[in-house]
Chain A
């Protein structure tokens, strides 16, 4: 993984010192909240329902054992013993005192972490496939490109005050696990006719109150041109994006209102107009230098296939976990392990201090010191030899982290909702808990198969409800919480926005309604190979809407 050089260290340390001074001035009353707010947001500090919330950047969701231990230290020393992993592959602490935040950031700087650009109208953390560098279906590792984009975009003076926040995602896999077309810019690595790897570029995707699936703006951009092309997109957005109405300020609105053809022409004109001195130089040596940080680790073919098979034969729950939570690895004899942060009764994405330490130790001992955060709010050990899988499973089980539900109906994305978020209209987490209880039978879950439920507590859609196979949006009706259901959304390579079913339901009505929907799906599917989303694609949403409201 990328390691800071002396400049990175200095930059982050300077930033901590700067923010320490800003906090001191705020606490002394020298500056007002209005003056302080943009400064704290640039350092990942929000003011939420109960307290300040600190969002810490985990670049493209990758961290080391040491970094995860540092996050566990923050949970223990400055929060209430836990952290919350987010859909942006970051972590949030919900109870940190403002007076302590400079110390937290100083501690994190010591392990090459920070909170820069986790808020504000700038280019945010670049996200990626959680199996990057390990996945059997990728054409190359996208992480060097995430890092190159991170270095280009961090503190970029031209893009510090964009009309609105800006999110970029990169994948190099055939299956889109990074919700590429729901980002302001989505990049898919692919080869051109000559066999050179470059990028297919999508622009103008996003969720929130006006969801859009990003259209393709360019079929292929070379590696050498990537940053210059991104800069051309950003310049058109910075120049033409609306600043008069924050609800219309995202690039998705600009692209939709301008039309993708005209927008493409504007970007191409900007790209063509860049003089040689304006192009962002990206020489091969620099690409190689960054790429070296992500060189494939030494896979020593640990063996253990026999023991792996034997353990599955002896322990049915382990066998189930293997069927559901393991992902194919590009190296023979290895698997990527999804650690579900959705055990029953726990808010989705939460991990306690001790769970973080357990995962950190397992990563150090069994996954080449590598841990990932997924945008579906789980953790991943990307490189585990099959001979070690049973040991890892037993350790996870002892820590309450062996739920065999990755990708199943109880593996929900869920925003913090009204329990924590001051913007929310309704609670999300208690509803997620009710749904988990309704579908507690793991055999039933496995029989249902892949079904992505996503819950947001307001139209800002932090819980990605627009792209849930079943999406749930909390709304406020005269002070009461109701939940609007959508069907058919998806964030994969066939990305689309879900269709609203009809009137909202009360919280206590939702689990039984979903049960009816799932039963309808099981009765109409052509076989277990036809997932819920496939059935919606084949039949449309009508059969499921009918089941949703068929309470009698």
Chain B
């Protein structure tokens, strides 16, 4: 069970994120449609392109699990209501700094 993410408007910029199926690692889609474990490399999508990117991710379930939209700014910074949750996903647990990730 995962928490319900807020619905985003079509014009808002979004990243596509989920979990790598094999490992469970958090991953983000790059602008070219490939996947990365470094949030700084994520691509920002909007409009129809975002919908197509999410559909492609959801169709690739052997590689990515639970793909969803995450709100970002045009230049790909984490934004919106879920900023704290998504920052922790990107940077690692704040209570275990030794497990820090690449972040954004």
| Residues of A that sit less than 8 Å from B by CB | 26-29, 32-33, 46-47, 49-52, 80, 95-99, 347, 418-420, 422-424, 427, 429-430, 433, 478-479, 481
Measured CA separation A28–B62 after assembly (Å): 6
Whole-angstrom CA separation of A418 from B83 in the bound complex: 12
- What residues on A are CB-neighbors of B98 within 8 Å? 80
CB within 8 Å of A: which residues of B? 1-3, 19, 21-26, 61-62, 65-66, 80-85, 88-89, 92-96, 98-99
CB distance from A314 to the nearest CB of B (A): 37
Q: Would you call B2 and A33 a contact (CB within 8 A)?
A: no
Most A Cβ at <10 Å: residue of B19, B65, B81, B95:
B95
Contact B94 A33 (CB under 8 A): no
Known: A46-B1, A47-B65. 17 other contacts (CB 8 A): A26-B21, A29-B61, A32-B61, A33-B66, A47-B24, A49-B88, A51-B19, A52-B19, A52-B24, A80-B98, A98-B22, A418-B88, A419-B93, A419-B96, A422-B85, A429-B95, A479-B81
B residues within 8 A CB of A347?
Answer: 95-96
Task: Return chain B residues, CB-CB under 8 Å to A29.
Answer: 61-62
Report whether A430 and B24 are in contact in the complex, using a CB–CB cutoff of 8 Å: no
Smallest Cβ-Cβ distance to A421: which chain B residue: B3
The reply to whether B2 and A422 form a contact with Cβ atoms under 8 Å apart is: yes
Q: Which residues of A contact B96 (CB under 8 A)?
A: 347, 419
- Residues of the A chain whose Cβ atoms lie less than 8 Å from the Cβ of B66: 33, 47
Closest chain A CB from B10 CB (angstroms): 22
CB < 8 Å neighbour of A99 from B23, B84, B94: B23
B24 pairs with A51, CB closer than 8 A? yes
18 A-B residue pairings within 8 Å (CB atoms): A33-B61, A33-B66, A47-B19, A49-B85, A51-B23, A52-B23, A95-B24, A96-B24, A99-B23, A347-B96, A418-B84, A418-B85, A419-B96, A422-B1, A429-B93, A433-B95, A479-B82, A479-B83
| B interface SS class | loop
Minimum CB–CB distance from A177 to chain B (whole Å) comes to 27
Nearest CB in chain B to that of A246: its residue: B1
A423 engages B1 (CB within 8 Å): yes
Q: How far is the CB of A426 from chain B (nearest CB, A)?
A: 8
Contacting residue for B94 out of A27, A96, A419, A479, CB 8 A: A419
Residue of B nearest to A101 (CB): B24
CA distance A419 to B22 in the complex (A): 22
Q: Is the CB of A427 within 8 A of B89?
A: no
Q: Which residue of B lies closest to A348 (CB)?
A: B95
Contact of B24 among A98, A418, A429 (CB under 8 A): A98
Q: Chain B: which residue is nearest A428 at the CB level?
A: B95
Chain A residues, CB < 8 A from B24: 47, 50-52, 95-98
Asked whether, in the complex, the Cβ of A50 is within 8 Å of the Cβ of B92, the reply is: yes
The CA-CA distance from A27 to B96 in the complex, in Å, is: 29
- Closest chain-A Cβ to B7's Cβ sits at a distance in Å of 16
C-alpha gap A347/B95 in the complex (Å): 7
Known: A51-B23, A98-B23. A479 touches B1 (CB 8 A): no
Set of chain B residues within 8 Å of A28, measured between Cβ atoms: 62
Which residues from B are CB-within-8-Å of A481?
A: 84
Which 5 residue pairs of A and B lie closest in terms of their CB atoms, listed nearest first?
A29-B62, A52-B24, A51-B24, A419-B93, A429-B95
A28, closest chain B residue (CB): B62
Q: How far is the CA of A51 from the CA of B88 in the complex (A)?
A: 12
Q: How far is the CB of A423 from chain B (nearest CB, A)?
A: 5
Instruction: Point out the residues of chain B lying under 8 angstroms from A98, CB to CB.
Output: 21-24
Provide the residues of chain A in CB contact with B61, threshold 8 Å: 29, 32-33
A50 touches B93 (CB 8 A): yes
- Residue on A with the closest CB to B85? A418
Instruction: State A481–B81 Cα separation when bound (angstroms).
Output: 12
User: Does B95 lie within 8 Å of A27, measured CB to CB?
Assistant: no
Q: Are A430 and B62 in contact (CB under 8 A)?
A: no
Least CB distance, B82 to chain A, in whole angstroms: 8
B23 touches A80 (CB 8 A): no
Q: Are A27 and B22 in contact (CB under 8 A)?
A: yes
- Bound form: Cα–Cα A275–B1 in Å: 40
A430 touches B81 (CB 8 A): no
Q: Give the docked Cα–Cα distance between A52 and B96 (Å).
A: 17
Assembly CA distance A27 to B21 (angstroms):
7
Q: From residue A342, how far is it (CB to closest CB) to chain B in Å?
A: 13
On chain B, the residues within 8 Å of A26 by CB distance are 21
- Bound complex: CA of A26 vs CA of B24, how far in Å? 13
Which A residues touch B88, using CB under 8 A? 49, 418-419, 427
Q: Tell me how far the C-beta of A422 lies from the nearest C-beta in chain B, rounded to whole angstroms.
A: 5
Q: How many angstroms from the CA of A28 to the CA of B95 in the assembled complex?
A: 35
Could you tell me the distance between the alpha carbons of A51 and B98 in the complex, rounded to whole angstroms?
16
Give the CA-CA distance A32 to B58 in the complex, in Å: 10
Determine how close the nearest CB of chain B comes to the CB of A53; give it in whole angstroms.
8
Task: From A49, A97, A433, A478, give the contact of B89 (CB < 8 A).
Answer: A49
